[in-house]
Amino acid sequence: MSHPQETTEDDLAPTQTEGYKVGQSKTVAELAALDQEDESLQRWKQSLGLATTANSGAPKKVILKTLFLSSDTLSKEISIDLTQSPEALAKLKKEPITIKEGVEYSVGITFVVENEIVSGLKYLQVVKRSGMKDTVDKTEAMLGSYGPQEKPYTKIFASEESPSGMLARSGSYVARSRIIDDDQHIWLDFEWGFKLAKEW
């Protein structure tokens, strides 16, 4: 049985925007205290979650909850629980989910941010086919910057159409997904398998 080639760090390197420099990091308390007299700025900060009582002094934390696939042709979205142990997540590579060929689908993610603001979250994904060295598909999607809140954030990426045909169905695929921020902190990095079929 052939196996997909391992994904390298170069495959998952986020695109660098020329001239972009990451700003100086400030705590939620520091940002909330700025410009107290500007009412509109205070409302804007409140909309970012800066008025919430954050765990002052605690490090920022992003907790990934689920990665999901949705489609109009799917009766119930397919969901991967990202809070599982690393051992359970590792099994997802060997137990592929089934994606129907030739349909439009979207991938989404839910996550919680705790304690401090996280800036420049990005979702990176590289897909390789069993036995092939080259990358079949690469996705890089900006999630954005988020303040701490208890309610999970949900981000749905642009729709894609799954490949179709006998050749597409004849193998299995491995996707490596990663969530990284502007500070190059990796919040999630795992592999999961999928195969294409005539039905979900």
pLDDT in tens, 11-59: 666 666 676 666 666 666 666 666 777 888 778 777 766 655 555 567 8
- Bridge partners of 64, per DSSP, are 111
Q: pLDDT tens digits for 62-120?
A: 999 999 999 999 999 999 999 999 899 999 999 999 999 999 999 999 999 998 889 89
- Region 156-179: mean pLDDT is 90
Q: Is 172 helix (H, G, I), strand (E, B) or coil?
A: strand
Q: Is 14 helix (H, G, I), strand (E, B) or coil?
A: coil
Q: The pTM is what?
A: 0.77
User: Where are the alpha helices (H) located in 52-180, listed in sequence order?
Assistant: 86-91, 166-169
User: Where are the alpha helices (H) located in the chain, listed in sequence order?
Assistant: 28-33, 39-47, 86-91, 166-169
**Which pLDDT band, with edges at 50, 70 and 90, does 1 fall under?**
very low
Sequence-distant contacts of 15-24: CB under 8 A, at least 24 apart: 15/140, 22/119, 22/120, 22/182, 22/183, 23/119
For 194, residues 6+ apart whose C-beta sits below 8 A from its C-beta are 96, 97, 98, 99, 172, 173, 175
Strand-strand pairing, 149-156 and 104-114? antiparallel
- Bridge partners of 195, per DSSP, are 98, 172
Residues 97, 83: Cα–Cα separation, whole Å:
18
For 174, residues 6+ apart whose C-beta sits below 8 A from its C-beta are 4, 7, 93, 127, 128, 130, 191, 192, 193
With b meaning 16 or more CB within 10 Å and e meaning fewer, what string describes 72-85? eeeeeebebebeee
